[in-house]
Amino acid sequence: MPHTHGHHDHTRHHGGGHIGAAFFLNLSFTVVELVGGLFTNSVAILSDAAHDFGDSLSLGLAWYFQKRARKGSNKQYPYGYTRVSLLGAIINAVVLSVGSVYILTEAVPRIFTPQETNAGGMFLLAVIGILVNGAAALRTRKGASVNEKVVSLHLLEDVLGWAAVLVGSAVIHFTGLTVIDPILSVVIAVFVLTNVFRNIRQVLPILLQGTPAELDREEIAAKLTALRQVSALHDLHIWSLDEETVILTVHLVLAEVLPPDGLAALKGTVRALLAELGAEHATIEFETPGEDCTLASCI
């Protein structure tokens, strides 16, 4: 009963410098936003401060993840630290949700009883926000890793949010409609909560080791059992380590006893087939005809 394991390098080399710079830019500006939001009496600014704090946390965790990922696997963590990013996504979702709900409790009453805001201060902060988030987005855009590109797109969303605040402050300045401020904050909070929900829907299946949506478990089982040397299979499990690395384990029941060179050839065929289907990291166990396997409970 030969037991074969696919070779896979779990050491990831991501560039952390761009995300590190974006983290410090974002965190510094979050403090400026907090002070500026209180000074201008703008819940829109405060809601974006909460959003940017969540972004800073996300960037910090992504930066930490990239640094840890370089260390690769060890005795305690054989798959390395790639799942730290999933933990970061959960923590970030909690922080953003709490912050957004708090902002909604502050902003909704102000829609019915608008308060005076400093439109000039809002305008100035919006300009700085566009410049800071834009610089951070450009910095991360230069990175080669998928992580950095995703962060860059997220920061570009922040630039659009600040553009909305910029327009809102101009409207308040020229019309005196201070109700624009709490309306903007509600829109920002709802936008953030929508993204949080979308991200959680992506993360949970990975944490629960669900079969990746892009892989068809039945198709994989059918193609493996279609091989003439394979009579059946069981204990087929497919899951994703971190949205990028797909792990597959399977027990293949041989149609007949094969010599070592026949097993090696079959192993190569199975690996090539699984790689085509999107599962490059596979652990395969061969079983001889009639062999009793205690794990033979499901396909």
Q: Could you read off the pLDDT of 36-50 as tens digits, one per residue?
A: 888 888 888 888 788
Q: Check if CATH label 1.20.1510.10 holds for domain 17-207.
A: yes
> Is pLDDT above 80 for 254?
yes
User: Structural domain boundaries of the chain?
Assistant: 17-207, 211-287
- Tell me the mean pLDDT in the region 127-135: 85
Question: 19-28, 142-151, 186-195, 223-232: which has the minimum mean pLDDT?
Answer: 142-151
Of 16, 192, 10, 144, nearest to 83 by C-alpha is 10
> What local confidence, expressed as pLDDT, does residue 252 receive?
92
Domain 211-287: give its CATH architecture: 2-Layer Sandwich (3.30)
CB burial class (10 A; 0-12, 13-18, 19+) of residue 251?
Answer: buried
> What local confidence, expressed as pLDDT, does residue 270 receive?
92
Question: 16-25, 119-128, 158-167, 226-235: which has the minimum mean pLDDT?
Answer: 16-25
Residue range 255-287, pLDDT digits in tens: 888 888 889 999 999 999 998 888 888 888 998
d(Cα 153, Cα 227) in Å, to the nearest integer? 44
> Is pLDDT above 80 for 291?
no
Give 127's strand partners. Answer: none
> Is pLDDT above 50 for 12?
no
